[in-house]
C-alpha cells in the first residue's frame, strides 16, 4: 500500500508534513513531492498549486510515477449549504466541474461526452471517515462538492452552482482529482474544512480562516491514515 496525501496550497499540507517529521523531497514535473513512511506504510505528500490543471498533473504523477494506490485530499472550501459553518468538515460523496459548459450542444452543465456530471468518491473510505468522526465525537457532513477554476465570491454564482449541481461546498481541485482517480481506478477521498461562504466577503474570511481550517482538515485526514495503516 502507498498512500497519496494531497492539498492545493502549502498551508493545506504543512500540518501533514509536520506530523510526518522527516521525509525525502523529490522534484518532478515542476513540483515537489515528499516521500515518507508513516507507521510502516509508504506515503507521498504534495501540494499541487491551485486549480484543476495543476491538481490533475499532481494526482496523475502521484498515481503513475509514484505508484500510489489510495488518494486522500485535504484542504479548505467555500461553504454553500447554510448548515456548514467556518471550520466545519465536509466529505465529498460526489464531485462535479461547475465550469464545464457545452450546454450550447444540449448537454447538461458539467457534462462532456465520455464523462459524467458527477464522479463518486470511494464508499469504503467514506465509511471509514464516519468511524473516525464518531470516535472523535465530531460531526462530519457528507455532500456534493463543485469544482471550478475560480475563487467564488458572489452569491449569484453560488446560487447558480446550487441550481445545476445542488452542491454543498465549492473549491477548485476536487473534481479534477476525482476524474483522474476514477479513470485510473484508484480509490479516493476528498475532505475539506470550510474557510468562507463564497460571497462578497469571501476573500477576507478566507485570509482569516484558511490556516485554521486547513489544520482541522489535515488533522482529520491523519486520523484516517492512522486507521488505514492501523
Ligand atoms: O486552492 C484554491 C484556494 C483559493 S484561491 C481553492 N481553495 C482555496 C478552496 C476554496 C475556494 N475555492 C473557490 C476556499 N474557498 C473557496 C471559494 N471559491 N470561495 C487562492 C487563495 N489565496 C491565495 C491565492 N489563491
Cα of 9 to ligand 1 centre, how many Å?
9
Residue nearest to atom 5 of ligand 1 (CA): 151
What ligand 1 atom has the least distance to the C-alpha of 197?
Answer: 19
Nearest to 122 by CA among 143, 94, 158: 94
Q: Which residues contact 198 (CB under 8 A, 6 or more apart)?
A: 78, 79, 80, 152, 153, 154, 155, 157, 158, 170
Q: Helix (H, G, I), strand (E, B), or coil: what is residue 214?
A: helix
> Given this model, what pLDDT does residue 111 score?
98
Q: What is the pLDDT along the chain (230 residues), one digit of tens a residue?
A: 999 999 999 999 999 999 999 999 999 999 999 999 999 999 999 999 999 999 999 999 999 999 999 999 999 999 999 999 999 999 999 999 999 999 999 999 999 999 999 999 999 999 999 999 999 999 899 999 999 999 999 999 999 999 999 999 999 999 999 999 999 999 999 999 999 999 999 999 999 999 999 999 999 999 999 999 87
Q: Residue 170 forms beta bridges with which residues? A: 78, 146
> Given this model, what pLDDT does residue 192 score?
98
Please work out, in degrees rounded to the nearest 5, the angle formed at the alpha carbon of residue 55 by the alpha carbons of 120 and 3: 70
What ligand 1 atom has the least distance to the C-alpha of 198?
Answer: 19
Residue nearest to atom 15 of ligand 1 (CA): 78
**Residue 176 domain boundaries:** 2-229
Cα of 171 to ligand 1 centre, how many Å?
6
What ligand 1 atom has the least distance to the C-alpha of 150?
Answer: 13
CATH number at residue 201: 3.40.50.1580
Q: What is the pTM of this model?
A: 0.98
| 196 Cβ inside 6 Å of ligand 1 | yes
Task: Please give the tally of structural domains in the chain.
Answer: 1
| 5 Cβ inside 6 Å of ligand 1 | no
**Identified catalytic residue from 135, 142, 196, 201:** 196
> Given this model, what pLDDT does residue 207 score?
98
> Given this model, what pLDDT does residue 230 score?
78
Q: Is the distance from CB of 186 to CB of 71 less than 8 angstroms?
A: yes
Ligand 1, from 172, 205, 214: best to mutate by most atoms within 8 Å of Cβ? 172
Rounded CA gap, 191 and 189, in Å?
7
> Given this model, what pLDDT does residue 139 score?
87
| 152 Cβ inside 6 Å of ligand 1 | yes
Rounded CA gap, 201 and 205, in Å?
6
Please indicate whether residue 42 is annotated as part of the active site. no
| 170 Cβ inside 6 Å of ligand 1 | yes
Rounded CA gap, 115 and 163, in Å?
20
Q: Is the distance from CB of 87 to CB of 217 less than 8 angstroms?
A: no
Cα of 154 to ligand 1 centre, how many Å?
13
Nearest to 93 by CA among 168, 162, 196: 168
**Identified catalytic residue from 11, 12, 88, 171:** 12
Please indicate whether residue 124 is annotated as part of the active site. no
Q: For residues 102, 106, 110 and 116, what is the CA-based torsion angle, rounded to 10 degrees?
A: -120
Amino acid at each position: 500500500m502507498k498512500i497519496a496525501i494531497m492539498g492545493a496550497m502549502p498551508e493545506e499540507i504543512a500540518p501533514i508534513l509536520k506530523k510526518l517529521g522527516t521525509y525525502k523531497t523529490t522534484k518532478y514535473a515542476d513540483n515537489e513531492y515528499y516521500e515518507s513512511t508513516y507507521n510502516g506504510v509508504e506515503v507521498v505528500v504534495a501540494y499541487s498549486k491551485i486549480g484543476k490543471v495543476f491538481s490533475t498533473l499532481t494526482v496523475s504523477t502521484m498515481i503513475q510515477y509514484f505508484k500510489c494506490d489510495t488518494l486522500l485530499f485535504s484542504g479548505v472550501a467555500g461553504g454553500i449549504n447554510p448548515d456548514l459553518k467556518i471550520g466545519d468538515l465536509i466529505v465529498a460523496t460526489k464531485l462535479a466541474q461547475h465550469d464545464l459548459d457545452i450546454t450550447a450542444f444540449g448537454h447538461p452543465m458539467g457534462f462532456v461526452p465520455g464523462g459524467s456530471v458527477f464522479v463518486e468518491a470511494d464508499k469504503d473510505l467514506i465509511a471509514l471517515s464516519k468511524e473516525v468522526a464518531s470516535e472523535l465525537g465530531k460531526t462530519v457532513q457528507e455532500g456534493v462538492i463543485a469544482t471550478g477554476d475560480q475563487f467564488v465570491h458572489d452569491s449569484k454564482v453560488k446560487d447558480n452552482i446550487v441550481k445545476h449541481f445542488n452542491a454543498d461546498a465549492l473549491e477548485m481541485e476536487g473534481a479534477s482529482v476525482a476524474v483522474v482517480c476514477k479513470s485510473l481506478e484508484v480509490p479516493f477521498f476528498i475532505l475539506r474544512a470550510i474557510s468562507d461562504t463564497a460571497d462578497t466577503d469571501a476573500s477576507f474570511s478566507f485570509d482569516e480562516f484558511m490556516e485554521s481550517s486547513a489544520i482541522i482538515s489535515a488533522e482529520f485526514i491523519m486520523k484516517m491514515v492512522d486507521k488505514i495503516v492501523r
